[in-house]
Amino acid sequence: MRGMSEPLYQAFVGRAYRLGYTAVEPEDKGQKTEFYKDEQYICDLMPNGEIRYMSGTGVDNDVQKLTDLLLSMKPAYSLYADAAYLQCDGVKNYKLLCDFGDYLLAANLSKDNELSFVTWRYEYSRDSVVLGHYFNTNYEAAKEDFAVRCGLVDGRKIFNEEEILYLDTACAFGNYGDYLDRLEDSTAKEEFEKLMDKLESLLPPELLEQIPEPEQEQEDQSEMEAF
């Protein structure tokens, strides 16, 4: 028997496959599952959910990617395993992960063992729900939406990815311009650079690629002025 739930295990193997990793599964569920990428051994997933690998084989980045993936999936699947099914009309195939005030966060397990998330508002009688916000498998977005809708977090203090991209772009131009040169306090310069790092850590790779290169634009402008 595996120490991790079967839905979590199957969903993890599926997501790992979509990232380019192949799982060699044992006949006995109580044994380890081996992961490979392009026929190179990466790591073992133990029955208890622990990931083990051989150090010094140049696979640290791959192991970290798989570890981060598993850790990001565990909380939602743990909540789902212990949650009760909703008793509201029309959504009894969903489990209640949490609720606060008039709002709730729920999840449904699909045939491919992926969890899909939704936030709803209870009707006055609390025997039905309305105004659903659906997030597919995006647990982080569903949690954030739930926190905002029920009033635990002030939505005005949250930036979406597009807004973060604009802020980071503005910081990038300030960094390559003369803004930092005009900061006499070295601590302020460090804080500015930390702000850029923090903003970029919140963006997915595909959006990071959209940040323009201020240095190149400055060189182009200088060449135009020369003419």
* Structural domains counted in the chain: 3
Q: Which residues contact 17 (CB under 8 A, 6 or more apart)?
A: 23
Of 31, 57, 81, the one marking the end of a domain is 81
Of 60, 81, 102, the one marking the end of a domain is 81
For residue 48, the Cα-to-chain-centroid distance in whole angstroms is 23
Do residue 142 and residue 169 come from a single domain? no
Do residue 98 and residue 135 come from a single domain? yes
CB neighbourhood size of 29 (10 A):
12
- Higher-scoring residue by pLDDT: 35, 225: 35
- Higher-scoring residue by pLDDT: 174, 49: 49
| Dist CA 14 CA 168 (whole Å) | 33
Q: What is the mean pLDDT of the chain?
A: 84
Of 81, 113, 145, the one marking the end of a domain is 81
- Higher-scoring residue by pLDDT: 79, 154: 79
pLDDT of residue 38: 93
pLDDT of residue 217: 46
Do residue 141 and residue 171 come from a single domain? no
Do residue 53 and residue 119 come from a single domain? no
* Average pLDDT over every residue of 142-159: 87
pLDDT digits 0-9 by tens, 70-125? 999 999 999 999 999 999 988 999 999 999 999 999 999 999 999 999 999 999 98
pLDDT digits 0-9 by tens, 73-84? 999 999 999 999
| Dist CA 70 CA 50 (whole Å) | 10
Do residue 183 and residue 194 come from a single domain? yes
Residue 117 in any domain: the answer is: yes
Residue 1 in any domain: the answer is: no
Residue 173 in any domain: the answer is: yes
What are the E-state strand segments in the chain? 22-24, 33-37, 40-45, 51-52, 95-100, 103-109, 115-122, 129-134
Please report which confidence band the pLDDT of residue 211 belongs to, taking 50, 70 and 90 as the band edges: low
* Average pLDDT over every residue of 146-173: 78
Do residue 89 and residue 149 come from a single domain? yes
Do residue 89 and residue 72 come from a single domain? no
Residue 19 in any domain: the answer is: yes
Cα 171 to Cα 174, 186, 195, 197, distances in angstroms: 5, 17, 8, 10
Residue 211 in any domain: the answer is: yes
pLDDT of residue 9: 95
Domain extent, residue 182, equals: 161-226
Do residue 203 and residue 172 come from a single domain? yes
Residue 34 in any domain: the answer is: yes
Residue 195 in any domain: the answer is: yes
Do residue 40 and residue 70 come from a single domain? yes
Q: Which among 111-115, 162-166, 187-191, 209-213 has the top mean pLDDT?
A: 111-115
Do residue 71 and residue 104 come from a single domain? no
Residue 179 in any domain: the answer is: yes
Do residue 57 and residue 97 come from a single domain? no
Do residue 118 and residue 139 come from a single domain? yes
- Residue closest to 1 by CA, chosen among 60, 43, 36, 47: 47
Helices then strands, counting H and E runs in the chain, come out as 7, 8
